[in-house]
Amino acid sequence: MQKGSHRPVLLAEVVAALGCRPGGLWVDGTLGAGGHAEAILRATAPDGRLLGCDRDAGALERARSRLEPFVTRIALHHADHRRLPDLLDASGLGPANGILLDLGVSSLQLDDPERGFSFRDDGPLDMRMDRSEATTAADLVNRLPEKEIASLLARYGEEPAARRIARAIARERDEAPITTTTRLAAIVAGAIGRRGGEGRDSVARRGRPSRARRGAAGASPGRGPLHPATRTFQAVRIAVNRELEGLDRLLEEATLRLRPGGRIAVISFHSLEDRIVKRTFRALARRCICPRDLPLCACGRADLVRLPHLKPLRPGPEEIRDNPRSRSARLRVAERLAGGAP
């Protein structure tokens, strides 16, 4: 796969999981370059409508250009996906038939050195998905106290050498501010040395396709060992973009805006995201809080969703072969039940 190419991950699986069909309202909360949205619009022709948003203004313009043939059936917004419930309410289009969220950073962002997501190329230490936001990765790395950096690396990168890396960052920034991706990567590598892979479920995985949204920041799409800076870059990126903040609430609020039988599909690429999705969906599917030995429900909290698949859907061998960056993708689906009430 060439740099900058766009391969939406699990494309056929997403269209099938959402139950795409003509008509209705469909939502893509993470448009990227518009690959999933295009497939949804084709599957819902001739009169299906799509509401989409992306926090990256550049990605939104690419999606708008790609979706030009469907201009009469789309409404696109420059907005964080956490604003989806408000956008849906304001649209007046009614409950949705299907909602897609493809979480994380895109390959188009990873492959642009000027965005500062990857340590593979030298670039400014930025990492903002929405470039109108004030705080960059350089701001966090240079301003946070050493203990907070260590906590951030441990929490969002599950980095075992978090304290050692934080100590090295604090020492190096006293000499000169850390402003480039390659300098941060070199500091991390110097602190912990070049190490091999650390388990198949490493949260800082190799990169992914565009809108195959990537968990790792600049990691190789091959099967080689993790670069020592991979976990650090993921952790800083998650902190800069507050990627996990409010995700559980978004899933709950979005589910409430599905019509009965409508589905929400979420693609995640590292265990931190997937854990939140799994936990939230399971909680919505088991809302009754009555004691297990009570013969009838007395709390009145009907299940809000059912889970069509007990385990996440994963890319098949062909997709992984053609698009190695899809390897860590996980797709979870929940279907709104008619009886579930807010």
Q: pLDDT grade, residue 288 (50/70/90)?
A: confident
Cα-based torsion angle of the residue sequence 240, 191, 174, 151 in order, rounded to the nearest 10 degrees: 40
Q: What is the CA radius of gyration of the chain?
A: 21
Q: pLDDT grade, residue 3 (50/70/90)?
A: very low
What is the 3-state secondary structure of 206-273?
A: CCCCCCCCECCCCCCCCCCCCCCCHHHHHHHHHHHHCCCCCHHHHHHHHHHCEEEEEEEEEEECCHHH
pLDDT > 90 fraction of the chain, expressed in percent and rounded: 77
Angle between helix axes 181-192 and 162-175 (nearest 10 degrees) is 130
Asked whether the predicted pLDDT for residue 306 surpasses 90, the reply is yes
Which range among 13-22, 87-96, 133-142, 214-223 shows the weakest confidence by mean pLDDT? 214-223
pTM for this entry: 0.87
The string of pLDDT tens digits covering residues 289-303 is 777 777 777 777 778
3-state helix, strand, coil in the chain (%, to 5): 40, 15, 45
- Taking residues 240-256, report their average pLDDT: 97
Amino acid at 166: A
Q: pLDDT grade, residue 179 (50/70/90)?
A: very high
Asked whether the predicted pLDDT for residue 316 surpasses 60, the reply is yes
Residue pair 45/116 in contact (Cβ under 8 Å)? The answer is: no
How many other CB atoms are there within 10 angstroms of residue 252's CB atom?
16
Asked whether the predicted pLDDT for residue 228 surpasses 50, the reply is yes
The string of pLDDT tens digits covering residues 28-47 is 999 999 999 999 999 999 99
Q: pLDDT grade, residue 224 (50/70/90)?
A: low
pLDDT at position 196 = 40
Map tokens 């441990």 to a residue.
Answer: 154
Going edge to edge, which strands form the sheet with 96-102? 74-78, 49-54, 25-28, 96-102, 258-268, 330-336, 305-306
